[in-house]
Amino acid sequence: MVCICATVRCVDNRTAVTVLQHPRERFHAIGTARIARLGLKRVRIETCAPWENNETLLEVIPPDAALLYPVPGAESMTALEPAAMPRHLVVLDGTWFHAKKIYDCSERLRRLRAVTLPDLRSDYRIRREPRSGYVSTIEAIVAALRIAEPDTEGLGGLLTAFGQMIDRQLEAKAAAAP
């Protein structure tokens, strides 16, 4: 694992972000929720195991929050008027398989308004996304915040830190190769 902590600068986001993280993702060397935790002023990361009853944990999510997840019927954030932008985003962190497990096991999450992003290209070169348009947690958060609060400074720096994490991981892997 390589440390990028010193490269992450704090962003004063206005839209609160709650990341529900699958337990297997928590200590993953190339997980991106840690960049959100280090770089966003208004972020909360909670471990959310789909095999446990998480309804009490989910009660802290405001009823007007929006789930950033590509489910049928999700509203495209690019189509929303400024007044309709969510003030609180809920993001699922884990592999796409694990994120779906978290979503499927929670009635509370399924009742939230769902929003989605335009088709994006992921720069996550060390982890393969299962479909075109699927991106890492930090890429999704940054894209959503750029839409919701286009005047917020420093969001690009989070993606720079993400790129540095990938580069350093690839360098470490190459150095360890025989």
Could you give the C-alpha distances from 135 to 10, 32, 84, 95, 146, in angstroms and in order? 22, 11, 24, 10, 15
pLDDT in the model for residue 42: 96
Cα 117 to Cα 36: distance, rounded to the nearest angstrom: 18
Cα 172 to Cα 15: distance, rounded to the nearest angstrom: 35
pLDDT in the model for residue 128: 61
pLDDT in tens, the chain (178 residues): 566 677 778 999 999 999 998 888 877 666 788 889 999 999 999 888 777 776 766 777 888 899 999 999 999 999 999 999 999 999 999 888 899 998 998 888 898 999 999 877 755 555 565 555 678 899 999 999 999 999 999 999 998 888 888 778 777 777 887 7
Cα 135 to Cα 11: distance, rounded to the nearest angstrom: 20
Instruction: Report domain 8-151's class.
Output: alpha beta
pLDDT in the model for residue 154: 94
